[in-house]
Amino acid sequence: MNEPNNNIRKTVLYLLIFVIGGIVGAVVRDMISHLIRNQDKSGYVERHEGQNKYINPLLACDAAEDVIRNTDLIPFKEKIEQFLNTRMDKRLATKVGVYYRELNDGNWFSIGESEKFIPASMRKVPLMIALLKQAESDPALLGRQVTFDLSNDYNLNQNFKPSQTLLFGKKYAIKDLIYRMIVYSDNNAFTYLTKVVDPAQFDTVYSNLRLQNPGVLKDDEFLSVQTYESFFRILYNASYLTRDASQWALDVLSKSEFRTGLVAGVPQNVKVSHKFGEKSEGSDGAVQLHDCGIVYYPRHPYLLCVMTRGANFELLDDVIANISQITFTEVDRQHSNH
């Protein structure tokens, strides 16, 4: 007589176990999903000493699972993708690469990271780094006076020409040539300094970052946003050069004459240490314009690198400025809400 009741009780028990199991499973899945979303994709968390003007020296790298991470910004990659896919006229840029990274928290994303570009003037940053590294073993290098005697003018084909140029026969300190190469993007200073730098030291800068020196590559289009950003990170972390040299390099980069691109997308009072590069391809009339650097948002600086290819420099300039503005607006909105 009790068998039907026992069957009912067993059925109810099985249902309860099934429901509880489902709830527990959902909770566990949410916990795992939360951990995956918030863990550092690189498997480690950087520990920094603290912001000191342009740098925040790297102290150590700890395993991500052993460190309680601060709440990161919610990734806004899709907002930039939406701009590129729906709001931007495809005639403005035929190829775009974007890299974003929170420098103190490590959260990052990239778009078009497999796209390759011509570095052009972007090569001036690793050359500066190599010369500053060389000066560590040759302290007199930066103050050495040299006579500028290049017979060719390598600035002739630049679209964004330097406001100040070198005078033939005049003496300049190596440090002054580095300054002019970065601030004015002077190709003559760059060309002269390639004759001053120790080739082995220049190779070392690239090899330490697991990059190939462009001098040994046959294809001009080899640079991606995800490889180039490394140069700015080693300056910010003061992990390759001395702290004083890293500080000086980023200070010089903040004085760049190129005030459109990344700079146009942020308020005037926000410093940006950056380098742009331009290249006219010639055959089909296409050009390339890039701008990469550190935006010093108060207490939360971030690295933004945008590389583009399209019809003309003015249109590409606008694309970079728009991406910079979207990024700054989102960073500001999220930090304002915290």
Going from N- to C-terminal start, the domains of the chain cover 44-138+205-336
Average pLDDT over residues 60-78: 57
Which CATH topology does 44-138+205-336 take?
Answer: Beta-lactamase (3.40.710)
CA 253 to chain centre: 13
**Looking at 155-164, 200-209, 213-222, 238-247, which range is the least confident one?**
213-222
Distance between CA 211 and CA 228 in Å, rounded? 9
Cβ atoms of residues 232 and 222 within 8 Å: no
- Distance (Å, whole) CA 303 – CA 293: 6
172 vs 159: CA distance, rounded Å: 25
User: Which tokens is 50 given?
Assistant: 């603290």
For the cut 90, the answer to whether the pLDDT of residue 18 exceeds it is no
Quick one: average pLDDT of 119-142?
Answer: 95
Tokens 């004083």, residue located: 244
Taking the CA atoms of residue 280, residue 281, residue 282 and residue 284 in that order, the dihedral angle to the nearest 10 degrees is -120
CA nearest neighbour of 188 among 124, 112, 141: 124
Cα 312 to Cα 85, 94, 163, 165, 284, distances in angstroms: 19, 11, 21, 25, 11
Higher pLDDT, 15 or 156: 156
Half-sphere exposure of 189 (CA within 13 A, CB side): 29
CA–CA separation, 297 and 336 (whole Å): 12
pLDDT of amino acid 36: 34
pLDDT attached to residue 223? 85
User: What pTM was computed for the model?
Assistant: 0.82
